[in-house]
Structure 1
């Protein structure tokens, strides 16, 4: 995993998904949610899907008015361009929250969890993701 910090968008997978969202909008959201649902059903969420879900959570939170101000430079334009279509995705907030829960569940089910655990930064990452999920759920 190419990561330079524990932040939601501080890795290659999240940045790749954000690029897809910037280009394709709501279809990128449904694609990553569907991929995560399939991965959950198979019993294992790979790192790219997990990173995409975390990025999606930031985008959905921002679209609902709970943007992390530290990420506004990266999120403001794509969220503004695709907000209406994103919020029209069926149950996008709840589905995203459930996907974040699955990504942060344990090392057996989530490669991203496993990678942060191996890196010795699991607590920092979980703290950041839990704050994101709180913003998402409260929006």
Structure 2
């Protein structure tokens, strides 16, 4: 799947996942985070991209949206954001940390000399996930 930047929605997998979120609701968030939590090996790129999109949904639902949040995700969080609680935010933070520390996606950005930009993007997401609800 294509990617054009280090942002959480700068790739096809994350944008395609929005359809899953629309269909499954908060269950799509749980599935994304559980997939990361259950991975014993390096986390695959597509799994990481989906979980990062899910983490962005959590941050947005808690009032800390990224400036480049897709419109359809903003609409979803306005309508369903109340389903995102502290436990889900903790799962999101755990998933993002695991992706940062041991994923093919992190390796990919490092190999393409975009590591510092990607690291900053991930740090911003973690900060937004920790804001407010904890």
TM-score (norm 2): 0.89
For the pair 1:131 / 2:124, whether they are aligned, the reply is: yes
Cα offsets for 1:111-135 (capped at 9, x unmatched): 1111111221111011011111101
**1:13–1:47 CA contact under 8 A, matched in 2:** no
TM-score (norm 1): 0.86
1:92 matched residue in structure 2: 88
For the pair 1:6 / 2:2, whether they are aligned, the reply is: no
Distance of 2:37 and 2:17 partners within structure 1: 16
Aligned length: 132
Secondary structure in structure 1 of the residue aligned to 2:69:
helix
Structure 1 residue 16: deviation in Å?
A: 2.1
Structure 1 residue 28: deviation in Å?
A: 0.5
1:60 matched residue in structure 2: 58
1:30 matched residue in structure 2: 30
Secondary structure in structure 1 of the residue aligned to 2:113:
coil
Distance of 1:96 and 1:69 partners within structure 2: 19
Cα offsets for 1:84-119 (capped at 9, x unmatched): 33x15x7100111011001001xxx31111111122
**1:63–1:79 CA contact under 8 A, matched in 2:** yes
Secondary structure in structure 1 of the residue aligned to 2:38:
helix
**1:113–1:122 CA contact under 8 A, matched in 2:** yes
Aligned residues: CA RMSD = 1.6
Structure 1 gaps, min length 5: none
Structure 1 residue 19: deviation in Å?
A: 2.2
Distance of 1:132 and 1:93 partners within structure 2: 11
Distance of 1:46 and 1:137 partners within structure 2: 25
**1:33–1:99 CA contact under 8 A, matched in 2:** yes
